[in-house]
Each structure stands twice: as C-alpha cells, then as structure tokens.
Amino acid sequence: MDSSDEDYGITFGNYSEFFITISHPNYSWLNEKSAWPADKPLKFKIEEVFVTVSSASRLLAMLTESHFRDSDYHQNDFTWFSSVSLIGAAKDQAKDFFHKAVYYLNAHYLRPLKIYANLLGISAHFEDPLGLYDGTNAEAAFKRLTRHRLRKRSDFHRKEPLILYNHACSASGTSQFLSFYRVLEFFFRRNILLEIEQYRKDLSYSAEDIFSLATSRNEPDQLSQLFKSILTSSQKKNLAEYAHRHGLIKGKTVNDLYKGLYSFRNSIVHAKEQDLNTTNLPDPFVIDEQLDRWIYIARECADSAIKRLNSKKS
C-alpha cells in the first residue's frame, strides 16, 4: 500500500478509494454512516480513469478499520460507509480526480434527488463540551444556566442583526464566518451616522473632518471606523495579539486586525482564477486552522457591535 490517506481513504498503486458522505438535511437515516443506498454501484469514466461509487470495499475496510475503528462510535463495520474508488489515476493525481468525480456525482447524478456527496473522515473525533459522552447528566450540565434572581436584559433598536447573529451561531465553516461578518456590515452606515453626529457636537472637528467621514464609502474604511467605535482598548490589544500569535496578521495593531479580517473575508467571497493564491479554497483534504480563529474574532466583534450600537442602553 502506497499510503493510508489519513482517515478518509487509501492509495494503492493506481487504485485509490475514499470514504464519502451521502447526505440530505431532511433524512436522518441518509447520513454519513450509511452504505451506498442504490442496489448497484454507479460507474463512469473521466478520460481513462474508471470511477465507481458504491459501499466501501472490503479492501478499504480492512486497511482502515484497524487504525480508526472506535466501537463506541462505529456501530457497523466500515463497509457500511459509501466510497468513491478510482482505477487508473496515479498517486499524485488521485485527489484531483476525486474532486472531479464528486463534481459529476453532485452536478449530474445526485442533483435530481436533491442530495449531495462529500469527502468523509471516519475518525471518531467530535467535541464534547458538556462531558455528556463521559456520563455527565444533561440536567447537571445545564444547571449553571439557571439563576435565583431575575436579571433584566436590555432591549434592542433593531431585530435584523440579531437574526443574522442567531443564524451564524447555527452555521459552520466559512458560512459561520460570513454570517458574523454580515452583522458587522449591518452597522457600517449606523456607525458612520453616529460618528458624524458626535463630530457635529465637537467644535474641534472641522467641516473637512465631517466631510471625510461622511464620504467613507469603501468597505475597508467603514470596517476600520467600526472597529474604532465598537472595540475597547483592551479588546483591540487582545484580539490583535491573538491574531498575531496564531499567524493571522503580521503586526499587532487594530489596523492590522481589520485589514486581516477584510482580506480573509475576500478570500472566501472571491475566487478569481488570476487570484487563486489569495483564495480560500474549501478543499476537504486540507484542514484550515485559520478559519476557526477568524470565526472567533468575527464573533467577538459582532458581539461588541450589537452591544454598543444596537442595545437601547448604549
């Protein structure tokens, strides 16, 4: 065997096989642990490479179960997963042909059924923040949320940023980052208007200062102004140092922070062929460690924006 591709497949000479999900959000039984639902394998060719979509082969199961099987997590043997196998693709081309095969699977074969396929890592890795898998009682875990006194929370000016924030909390990946970023976008105009109002009351600011602020139309400038308004000095310092420590930005200033956040947003939103070196491609074979850290920063900023620009107490 040339390689055991971590927890998602194998490469053996010109033969490769990768675990995949076959998913639909409305069908709980059609989940990532399901075998291929059809009674026969699906077969097609891409140039001279033969593609087979089926339940995982006994070869794939045999070579991966000894490394990744967890009896508490995996109820069946690994032939109960689905897979894409490739015959004729060299080792250094296997992942490229996998992407092509899954494209045809999603764009042509599965599309009429409104289900989709993607790469599946079969390791038993999952977060357990409440310790419920170790026997902790759910009522005990949630007991910390209850209070003996009734705390009065402030009301809000607008519901829209709350809708955006709540959606972000239930999203994941780049969708979660962009959802928190949309909370920030919501407040761009309001922040500029509040700044202008303050400038008008302060005679130390000239008409030119007010005009310059009022004409801040491009998004980086508006994001910069927003960061200055919503983040405290300690937040600016802590978030900038956090981003620098994890290699997200080169400097340690709030200017470096907002520029880095905006650049990361662009890397997700845009995918121009000539700018692929700055594009965040959602390659399932690559773990994007930066994403979770930018999500944390975006959420902290969204929290501050709602608190300082939408709360009726602010």
Among 69-78, 203-212, 272-281, top mean pLDDT goes to 272-281
User: What confidence score (pLDDT) does residue 273 get?
Assistant: 86
CA atoms within 13 Å, Cβ hemisphere of 212: 8
User: What confidence score (pLDDT) does residue 1 get?
Assistant: 43
Measure the CA–CA gap between 136 and 122, rounded to whole angstroms: 25
Task: Examine residue 135 and state whether it is found in any structural domain, yes or no.
Answer: no
List the one residue out of 14, 16, 118 whose CA is nearest residue 64: 16
One domain, residues 94 and 183: no
One domain, residues 169 and 294: yes
One domain, residues 101 and 197: no
Look at the block and give the residue holding tokens 């690559």. 286
> Burial level of 91, CB count in 10 A (0-12/13-18/19+)?
middle
| Tens of pLDDT, residues 87-97 | 999 999 999 99
3-state secondary structure (DSSP) of residue 130: coil
Task: Give the angle 171-175-180 at the CA atoms, nearest 5°.
Answer: 80
Task: Examine residue 140 and state whether it is found in any structural domain, yes or no.
Answer: no
Number of structural domains in the chain: 2
One domain, residues 113 and 166: no
Among 119, 145, 174, the domain boundary falls at 119
Task: Examine residue 85 and state whether it is found in any structural domain, yes or no.
Answer: yes
Overall pTM surpassing 0.95 (yes/no):
no
3-state secondary structure (DSSP) of residue 129: coil
One domain, residues 167 and 107: no
What sign for the dihedral angle of Cα 177, 240, 277, 7?
negative
User: What confidence score (pLDDT) does residue 246 get?
Assistant: 96
Least confident residue range of 6-10, 124-128, 255-259: 124-128
List the one residue out of 165, 214, 202 whose CA is nearest residue 186: 165
One domain, residues 202 and 301: yes
Measure the CA–CA gap between 184 and 266, rounded to whole angstroms: 15
Among 81-85, 118-122, 132-136, 297-301, top mean pLDDT goes to 297-301
One domain, residues 83 and 172: no
One domain, residues 66 and 171: no
Structural domain harbouring 82 = 3-119
Q: For the chain, how many residues are written?
A: 314
List the one residue out of 175, 53, 171 whose CA is nearest residue 105: 53
Measure the CA–CA gap between 85 and 121, rounded to whole angstroms: 15
User: What confidence score (pLDDT) does residue 61 get?
Assistant: 86
CB 243 within 8 A of CB 297: yes
Strand partners, 45: 50
Task: Examine residue 128 and state whether it is found in any structural domain, yes or no.
Answer: no
Task: Examine residue 144 and state whether it is found in any structural domain, yes or no.
Answer: no
Task: Examine residue 151 and state whether it is found in any structural domain, yes or no.
Answer: no
Task: Examine residue 125 and state whether it is found in any structural domain, yes or no.
Answer: no
Both tokens of 30, joined, read: 């059609």
| Tens of pLDDT, residues 157-196 | 999 999 999 999 999 999 999 999 999 999 998 988 887 7
Helix (H), strand (E) at residue 22: strand 15-23
CB 272 within 8 A of CB 106: no
One domain, residues 167 and 292: yes
User: Average of pLDDT values for 271-277?
Assistant: 85
User: What confidence score (pLDDT) does residue 17 get?
Assistant: 96
Task: Examine residue 68 and state whether it is found in any structural domain, yes or no.
Answer: yes
One domain, residues 26 and 113: yes
User: What confidence score (pLDDT) does residue 249 get?
Assistant: 97
One domain, residues 259 and 204: yes
Among 87, 119, 151, the domain boundary falls at 119
One domain, residues 189 and 293: yes
H helices of the chain, in order, are 58-68, 94-104, 138-142, 160-170, 173-186, 188-201, 207-214, 219-230, 233-245, 254-269, 289-309
Comparing 272 with 303, which gets the higher pLDDT?
A: 303
Q: What DSSP string runs through 92-127?
A: GGHHHHHHHHHHHIIIIISGGGT-EEEE---S----
Residues 6+ apart with CB under 8 A from 250: 244, 256
List the one residue out of 306, 288, 50, 20 whose CA is nearest residue 173: 288
Q: What backbone torsions phi and psi does residue 134 show, to the nearest 5 degrees?
A: -95, 10
| Tens of pLDDT, residues 186-242 | 999 898 888 777 766 766 767 676 667 666 668 998 999 999 999 999 999 999 999
User: Average of pLDDT values for 8-22?
Assistant: 92
Among 59, 88, 119, the domain boundary falls at 119
